[in-house]
Amino acid sequence: MKFFNLHTHKFTNQSDVLELVNQYPWEFDETIPFYSIGIHPWFIVEERLENDFAIIESKLQELGCLAIGECGLDKRIEVPLELQQFVFEKQLLLAQKYQKPVVIHCVAAFQELIETVKKLNITVPILIHGFSKSEQLAKQLLENGFYISFGKYLLQSRSFGTELEAVFRNMPNDRFFLETDTVDESLATVYALAAKYKGISVEEIQKQINSNFNTVFNQINR
């Protein structure tokens, strides 16, 4: 594995990239070899939840399912936070039961996220995808054992000179991942930018992320 894409909605089937493709239970694609599966807070449908949870639990027992998610909390949508919380907690408990990492979508609810993980005594790896926030929040997440993934907003930092470049540069090497999410730019572009910000080679970034992958997804034999 030369490259690992922690979170993408586009399966590109490249021989040198292991893609963790985001899947939803109501539109599952059996042809995708490695994936995460979960209920995003944007797409919660109460009448469908029982069936969605059943599909997720079934897929969590398959080797191709590397993680649950993306799932989480989002305070900027109309779905009631109480319902989001119920759906999120259910998925965290499934992740704990099947010992799968969790890919997180979180908007304006990081304190609730941290408190929920603590309350439920979740010990599987928690991965914050698409990080775009401050150094202070990054440190808090790291202190609570979370991993942080960078992609779209790191690419945007090239144009806007955001604080995110410094956040990434100061990120402990054993706690980050890279992703493309929904952007059109290639994963290789993300890796190249990450290497530039870290002041190391792309090969060193590849080696580090391979190591991080083996740590987080250690129940998977590759």
Q: Does domain 3-216 have CATH number 3.20.20.140?
A: yes
- Is the CA virtual torsion 47, 48, 51, 53 positive or negative? negative
pLDDT of residue 159: 72
Please provide the distance, in angstroms rounded to a whole number, between the alpha carbons at the two ends of the chain.
9
By C-alpha distance, which of 39, 10, 194, 178 is closest to 105? 39
Q: Is 50 exposed, middle or buried (CB count within 10 Å of its CB: 0-12, 13-18, 19+)?
A: exposed
Sequence spans of domains, the chain:
3-216
Phi and psi at residue 172, in whole multiples of 5°? -55, 135
Which tokens hold the place of 29? 């694609």
pLDDT of residue 161: 62
pLDDT of residue 162: 75
Taking the C-alpha atoms of residue 180 and residue 158, their distance in angstroms, rounded to an integer, is 15
> Does the predicted TM-score (pTM) go above 0.75?
yes
pLDDT of residue 157: 86
pLDDT averages per 10-residue partition of the chain, 222 residues: 93 95 97 97 97 98 96 97 98 97 97 98 97 96 98 86 89 98 94 96 97 84 38
DSSP 156-182: HHHHH--THHHHHHTS-GGGEEE--BT
3-state secondary structure (DSSP) of residue 127: strand
